[in-house]
Amino acid sequence: MPETTIHQPVEKPRNPHIENFKNIVKRLKKNKAAMVGGFLILLFVITAFVGPYLVPFSAGEQVLVNKLQGPSAEHWFGTDHLGRDIFSRIIHGMSITLYIGFFSVVIGAIVGVIFGIISGYFGGKIDTLIMRAMDILLAFPGILLALGVVTILGPSLNNVIIAVGIFSVPSFARIVRGSTLSVKELEYIDAVRALGASDFRIIVRHVLPNVFSPIIVQATLRIATAILTAAGLSFLGLGAQPPKPEWGAMLSDGRNYIFDAGHVALFPGLAIVIVVLAFNIFGDGLRDALDPKMKS
């Protein structure tokens, strides 16, 4: 009687990177607050791109006879002292706010990661020199450091991005340095070095991917700080200049009418609070998802 051969299905090898990503998403989904923050961030990004084309008024349209009107069916958030629709200006200003937050953090992250990896990997005098420079920057309160940079460079939107980026550098540098010190002591790094890999190759191919998670978390949290700092600078008249509908500048205009027409300052202030809160709670959830051991 002929033997019957049963062929067992061969399982395809699982990609550890894909599996790790699925686990991160699964842990992130369990955090309801983080999911709400992520949904709000997605909503803000979509609104920044398509919102200006949907609102009924342009950002600079002035109708002086309608100035300081309260919220109504025509003007959802009311009008400001020049008769401009506040809701339309907030929607137009969302792209400016996200632009400042994103690009200032990109600048701070790129410079900070480079300094942090060099400091942690090579150590010695280079480490001491870089870290003392970071300590000097950290000795200044963030808003004060940004204020000094903008004062030197002059008030403008791009200078605000540079200023916020500069004061974001030390936080990235310190986090990346700490992670690099841990990664470079791993056995497989010694093995790669023994095989003749250059320092540049080790840093790019082996160290940087292992310190990427804390960089992402720090960047998400730092965007909230960058938005808040940029709004503070605009509130002082050193950020985006009129007639750009930047939320900090709108808040500054509204303080003159806070008792007579409180809505002029209320709605830009609420917009800043909601955006900053969304990035903060999403960043906290992302940190817990990427490294559950860090969860308190």
Instruction: Check residue 142 and give its pLDDT.
Output: 76
Each domain of the chain, given as residue ranges in start order, spans 25-66+76-111+129-167+218-294
Top pLDDT among 23 and 6 is at: 23
- Determine the average pLDDT of the residues in 215-242: 85
Instruction: Check residue 296 and give its pLDDT.
Output: 43
Q: Is the pLDDT of residue 82 over 90?
A: no
Residue-wise pLDDT tens digits, 158-174: 888 888 888 889 999 99
Residue-wise pLDDT tens digits, 54-70: 888 888 788 788 888 88
Average pLDDT of the chain, as a whole number: 83
End-to-end CA distance of the chain: 66
Measured over the CA atoms of residue 225, residue 157, residue 92 and residue 83, the dihedral's sign is positive
Residue-wise pLDDT tens digits, 170-222: 999 999 998 888 888 878 777 888 888 788 888 888 888 888 888 888 888 88
Percent residues over pLDDT 90 in the chain: 16
Q: Is the pLDDT of residue 10 over 80?
A: no
Assign 295 a pLDDT band (cuts: 50, 70, 90): very low
Instruction: Check residue 1 and give its pLDDT.
Output: 47
Residue-wise pLDDT tens digits, 27-44: 777 778 888 888 999 999
Q: Is the pLDDT of residue 285 over 90?
A: no
Cβ proximity of 58 and 85 under 8 Å: no
Which range (119-123, 126-130, 195-199, 250-254) has the least confidence?
A: 195-199
Tokens of 122: 């090579």
Q: Is the pLDDT of residue 268 over 60?
A: yes
Instruction: Check residue 13 and give its pLDDT.
Output: 53
Assign 113 a pLDDT band (cuts: 50, 70, 90): very high
Instruction: Check residue 112 and give its pLDDT.
Output: 92
